[in-house]
Amino acid sequence: MAELNTTLFPPISPLRHGMLAVDDLHTIYWEEVGNPNGIPVLFLHGGPGAGLSPAHRRFFDPLHYRVILFDQRGAGKSMPLGECRNNTTPLLIEDIERLRTMFGIEQWLVFGGSWGSTLALAYGQAHPERCLGFVLRGIFLCTRREIDFFLNGSEWFHPDVYDEFVAGIPVDERGDLLAAYHQRIMSHDPEVYWPAVRAWSRFEGRRVFLLPQPEEPPSDSLDLGVGRLESHYMANLGFFTDNQLLDNVSRIAHLPAVIVQGRYDVICPPVSAWRLHQAWKGSVMKMIPDAGHGAMETGITRALVTATEQFRKQRRFD
């Protein structure tokens, strides 16, 4: 933690924060951090459903960046928590544009990790004229193969974690873990959905870092947001056609991008980052040799901060 504190910028409070009603059901939480006259940057959190952390503000020099962060629909402080109705990728993209207009921003750097990288790519491909460039971590293209690996590939690397995850599912349903969990997670009965969302969240959380970490205290809000929204988006293939984000890279290929990827990421395996880099000829790939999936692993954190510093100085990545 001491090393992270010297890599990240110091803790900072928002200049402004508030709630924005985006439809009759959803109200999203937003923050503005840093220099109001600085380079605009949009921060997109992971999950979906994981929400913001104060640490997310610290990847950017507050003297030079104007950082806009928000909890996506159903996540964090946004309301209603864990709500999957009116919650699709196109609607999240509409929310981003609504925020951009509200803040009077013409163009911004787009920064996202894990599901945040998915949403960053989708937003950029929908609105390339609004993007200055991209800082992406732990690439997830939301393909069927990646979703299958997320649920079943862990058996090869974390058999203990996998066995715990499937223990609550009858043997005859284990051939489709996504369907089995999604059915339980979307139940209206708390005695059914709470064990399911907690198991789902724990299954992911125990595989994030390369090296074992002290387990965080249980968080009902995190478990509900992550369990419900991840299973919802995976069950709907992210509201994409399979391989859509890779097929449409040409829409943003003229923009600068850095891809930061942990070599031993077992949540979002490096092959997706590599394929994105190969398709995006101008992108810069930073493969971190001693990291998994976590943004707060030392090598990944350092690479992300280096990227934001390079962009503010040169408007490109090396």
Indicate which residues carry an active-site annotation: 114, 265, 293
Distance (Å) of CA 199 to CA 25, 206, 222, 228:
27, 11, 12, 11
User: Scanning the structure block, which residue is given the tokens 């439809």?
Assistant: 23
* Pair type for strands 39-44 and 65-70: parallel
- Confirm if 49 and 227 have CB atoms less than 8 A apart: yes
Long-range contacts from 177-184, C-beta under 8 angstroms, 24+ separation: 177/151, 177/152, 178/147, 178/151, 178/231, 178/234, 178/235, 179/235, 181/231, 182/231, 182/232, 182/234, 182/235
Tokens read off for 11:
């803790």
